[in-house]
């Protein structure tokens, strides 16, 4: 564990900053925060912090026959090539991570609380795509839109308001949501 404390008067000739408090965190978390604060990392560099590995592979049998949702139909007796969910869901393993969704602002897009969003950091957000964004220190998943020089984060539920970001707001896209997974 590392201990870091910076007083309001400044340390070592540093200028005064916002109020701080003493906390105990693992050394790797403190080092990640320090590198992020110094601008040596992007906020989206999750791998540097989580040590994410996208190397494991699991395949499952994939039947070429379709399954009717109405009346039963006889299933074909042969298999297509095995289905690899890594291949199906992840285009760039080094830049992909997953987050669990909380809140109901994206239900109109089929994204519900408890779903798992697959996020690709290597994709550039295009108008209309769904993004994981950091806004004023909080995460949100919304549809990305542009209004002139401003960014609009659009909710997909009429009970929620859209957010038109101002120049004063801290904003960063952490990645584009490529898939949503729901556990039944």
Which residue segment(s) compose the domain that 43 sits in? 21-53
Task: List, in order, residues 6 or more apart from 70 with CB less than 8 Å away.
Answer: none
pLDDT, average across residues 173-177? 95
Same structural domain, 99 and 173: yes
Where does residue 48 fall: left (phi above 0), alpha (psi -120 to 50 degrees), or beta otherwise? alpha
CATH code, 106:
2.10.109.10
Same structural domain, 97 and 169: yes
Q: What is the pLDDT of residue 59?
A: 72
Distance between CA atoms of residues 29 and 88, nearest Å:
32
46's tokens:
């999750």
Least confident of 70-79, 88-97, 103-112, 139-148: 70-79
Question: Does residue 99 lie within any of the structural domains?
Answer: yes
Where does residue 60 fall: left (phi above 0), alpha (psi -120 to 50 degrees), or beta otherwise? beta
Active site amino acids? 105, 142
Structural domains counted in the chain:
2
DSSP-assigned states of every residue in 104-120? STTGGGT--TT-EEEEE
- Of the spans 27-36, 67-76, 78-87, which averages the highest pLDDT? 78-87
Does this model's pTM top 0.75? My answer is: no
Cα–Cα distances (Å) from 167 to 47, 75, 101, 153, 170, in that order, read: 29, 57, 27, 14, 8
| pLDDT tier for residue 132 given thresholds of 50, 70 and 90 | very high
Residue 15 has pLDDT above 70, yes or no: no
């Amino acid at each position: 564990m590392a201990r870091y404390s910076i007083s309001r008067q400044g340390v070592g000739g540093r200028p005064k900053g916002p109020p701080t408090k003493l906390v105990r965190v693992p050394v790797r978390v403190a080092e990640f925060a320090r590198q992020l604060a110094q601008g040596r990392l992007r906020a989206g560099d999750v791998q540097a912090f989580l040590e994410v590995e996208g190397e494991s592979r699991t395949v499952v049998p994939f039947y070429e026959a379709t399954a009717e949702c109405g009346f039963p139909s006889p299933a074909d007796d042969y298999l297509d090539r095995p289905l690899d969910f890594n291949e199906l869901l992840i285009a760039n393993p080094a830049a992909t991570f997953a987050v669990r969704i909380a809140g109901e602002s994206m239900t109109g897009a089929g994204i519900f609380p408890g779903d798992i969003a697959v996020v690709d950091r290597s994709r550039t957000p295009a108008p209309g795509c769904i993004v994981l964004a950091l806004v004023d220190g909080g995460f949100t998943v919304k549809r990305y839109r542009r209004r002139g020089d401003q960014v609009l984060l659009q909710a997909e539920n009429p009970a929620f308001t859209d957010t038109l970001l101002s120049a004063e707001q801290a904003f960063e896209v952490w990645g584009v949501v490529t898939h949503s997974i729901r556990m039944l």
